[in-house]
Amino acid sequence: MSKVESTEQLARTSNMMTAMPRFSSLCSLIIAGTLLACSSEPQSKGREEWIQLFNGKDLSGWQAKFSGHELGDNYANTFRVEDGVLKVSYEGYPVFDSKFGHLFYDQPFSHYRLRAEYRFVGEQVIGGPSWAFRNNGLMLHCQSPDSMAKDQDFPASIELQLLGGRETGERHTANVCTPGTHIVMDGALLTRHCVDSTSKTYRGDQWVTVEVEVRGSEVIRHIMEGEVVLEYSQPQIDRESTEAQSLDPDAPLLLEGGYISIQAESHPTEFRRIELLPLEK
């Protein structure tokens, strides 16, 4: 090899060595960008967009209905928001006097997950029924509030029953009750009013988180601490019930959707979160 050829080869080698870090950096950027794109796409697809039904400020989007009162009359300011908490309060009641109430969200849903954080506080109002001690409910698949009769105590609905424990003994929460309705469980039509879940007992004034997965009439699952504690399907109208008398007799039997409401059954209750995640049908 001549001296000239040797010099030219050294120059070419030097240029290649200089270019390699740039090439390596470019490859690194491409690989990193590819990984970033791959990792960010599932995150955006899997991100859960929960709707805050309770805004933490006021009762916007909600409407009260009390037995014996017109729709929109929030009797004795029972439902109120204080310090960022939605309260069922009986401070304005001398006695309960069967003033069963419900606070309806203003739009219906069919397929969704509903999550609420609640607690029972204080003493039950004088005159409240014994079964309503530390008792409230999230009513699912409700009839519309404007279809209720003025003196109707409960909407035709499926109740996700919330119970607080007594000093001793078991008292499950996330049970199901069926005002004006029936459900199917393990392939059989159930006509009894309430069925207990397998949840543990929650005593005192502790905050409790409950969740329910609702898929039209296909299946409803009650969930506590990540575990399904009750499951049933085919919620349907009980045509013979008192609650059904206010409904259109030609309406479908199966309940594919409906309104959500919060009960007021005589024991003070607080909610600091109520949120909903729509699900695809």
Question: What does the radius of gyration of the chain's CA atoms come to, in whole angstroms?
Answer: 29
Contact 261, 102 (CB under 8 A): yes
Give 27's pLDDT tier (boundaries 50, 70, 90). very low
Percentage of residues in the chain with pLDDT exceeding 90? 82
Mean pLDDT for 247-265 is 96
Who contacts 141 (Cβ-Cβ below 8 Å, separation ≥6)? 157, 158, 181, 214, 235, 255, 257, 258, 259
**Per-residue pLDDT tens over the stretch 119-136:** 999 999 999 999 999 999
| Whether pLDDT at 117 is above 70 | yes
Percentage of residues in the chain with pLDDT exceeding 70? 84
What does the pLDDT read at residue 156? 98
| Whether pLDDT at 5 is above 60 | no
Q: Which residue has the higher pLDDT, 105 or 8?
A: 105
Residue 197, both tokens: 């879940």
What does the pLDDT read at residue 43? 37
The three-state secondary structure class of 120 is strand
What does the pLDDT read at residue 46? 59
What does the pLDDT read at residue 204? 96
Range in 21-25, 238-242, 266-270 the model is least confident about:
21-25
Pairwise CA distance, residues 107 & 148, whole Å = 16
The secondary element (H helix, E strand) that includes residue 14 is helix 3-46
Range in 28-37, 96-105, 147-156, 259-268 the model is least confident about:
28-37
Residue with tokens 């019930």: 241
Mean pLDDT for 196-217 is 98
| Whether pLDDT at 114 is above 60 | yes
- Tell if the pTM clears 0.75, that is, is over it: yes
| Whether pLDDT at 88 is above 50 | yes
